[in-house]
Amino acid sequence: MKIAILGGDGFVGWPTALHLSDAGHDIHILDNLSRRWIDTELGVQSLTPMDSIQERTRIWHAETGRRIHFNLIDLARDYELLKKWLAEHRPDAIVHFAEQRAAPYSMKTDRHKNYTVNNNVNATHNLLNALVELDLDAHLVHLGTMGVYGYSTIGAAIPEGYLPVGIDTMGGETVSQEILYPSNPGSIYHMTKCLDQLLFQFYAKNDGLRITDLHQGIVWGTHTEQTRRHPQLINRFDYDGDYGTVLNRFLIQAAIGYPLTVHGTGGQTRAFIHIQDSVRCIELALNSPPARGSRVEIFNQMTETHRVRDLAEMIARMTGSEIAWLPNPRKEAAENDLVVHNEKFLALGLDPIRLQDGLLSEIVDVAKKFAYRVDRTRVPAVSAWTKDIAPLINHDPEGKRLKSVS
């Protein structure tokens, strides 16, 4: 297939581009490189050294003989340029990663909230609008988030997208209907993914677009089979308080002798998936498109769930690290359970990579190799969800800042 990967320079986008190129597909990356500019804004860098996207694709061609094409396009702002590209290339499938992906970043200030909404929602709608305008029957695979469901405890497993309900009619009968599982976003970022869901439902119903929405858990790991082939193909590794995902952050903290930062009670239960499984799931979804005119296909793209404090204690035992119990910058329940159905990907042949499969030590090795690139002041999570929470945030878990003498 000819596949357009929107946001193909990012944390999941880049290894997906390599994985699909390696499988023989014709890959075209569309990206505005905004994630690199955000690094500059935040004054932080990927733990792993990243070359330019042009150099990355050059190395891939030199190693494999396969080309990955790069196009500098801002999906949220360059509608006519996006439409022109789609009209010229008419891809068979589109993988949509082109959204600001960090919940803490989306909550930093009013400016960051506006940017996240404008970027994410406009990018998605521009894409859908262009597909209809061009009568382009490409299968759209979107990377969503488990966070659209929220993290409340209801005592039942979360289904894959749709919830069967009974509705009482005026005639006194009960009719059955399947509805989108009620959304319960926990941040501005998660809210944009909920809005994506509604856009997808409308365009699938109104215009017959073929859409698959992947509700993904927290991604851990660094390497995939393809990124191991050359040092310059390595994936980015975020450790900072805005973009670093919880398990990867614990591992880098352990590698540099930083306390493992657990916020609140650590009773938050989250869904997880390894980066290698993430790219496999995207390929499986591409190979199983919904029929034109059918409803949006929804997968829960996760392989296991864990409480945050259990993860911290596991890493502490493995590495001898200390745990720092800190105030929670997020507005969320102190404790929650999370039970999730993920039978669809298992039925398609996914053989999940589990935490106990030995890859944790590999990540620690990567973290130790590049520990000299860490800015310890960027490790704490300090983006507060509300103005009331902001004064409670601990900006110095190590207790190393100079204290004033009163």
The CATH number of domain 2-237+272-304+335-354 is 3.40.50.1100:
no
Query: What are the tens digits of pLDDT across the range 248-271?
Result: 999 999 999 999 999 999 999 999
Provide the token pair at 197. 């869901």
Active-site residue, from 16, 145, 245, 319: 145
Annotated active-site residue 372? The verdict is no
Annotated active-site residue 193? The verdict is yes
* Residue 113 scores a pLDDT above 90: yes
What is this structure's pTM? 0.95
Active-site residue, from 115, 149, 151, 189: 189
> Dihedral sign, CA of 357, 361, 364, 368?
negative
Whether the CB-CB separation of 37 and 211 falls below 8 Å is answered with no
* Residue 400 scores a pLDDT above 90: no
For residue 358, the model assigns a pLDDT of 66
Query: What are the tens digits of pLDDT across the range 191-206?
Result: 999 999 999 999 999 9
Whether the CB-CB separation of 68 and 60 falls below 8 Å is answered with yes
For residue 200, the model assigns a pLDDT of 98
Q: For the chain, what percent of residues have pLDDT higher than 70? A: 98
Question: Residue 399: which pLDDT band, with cuts at 50, 70 and 90?
Answer: confident
* Residue 393 scores a pLDDT above 70: yes
Query: What are the tens digits of pLDDT across the range 155-178?
Result: 788 899 899 999 999 999 999 999
Annotated active-site residue 79? The verdict is no
Whether the CB-CB separation of 195 and 123 falls below 8 Å is answered with no
Question: Residue 362: which pLDDT band, with cuts at 50, 70 and 90?
Answer: confident
* Residue 303 scores a pLDDT above 70: yes
Active-site residue, from 83, 193, 212, 245: 193
Question: Residue 50: which pLDDT band, with cuts at 50, 70 and 90?
Answer: very high
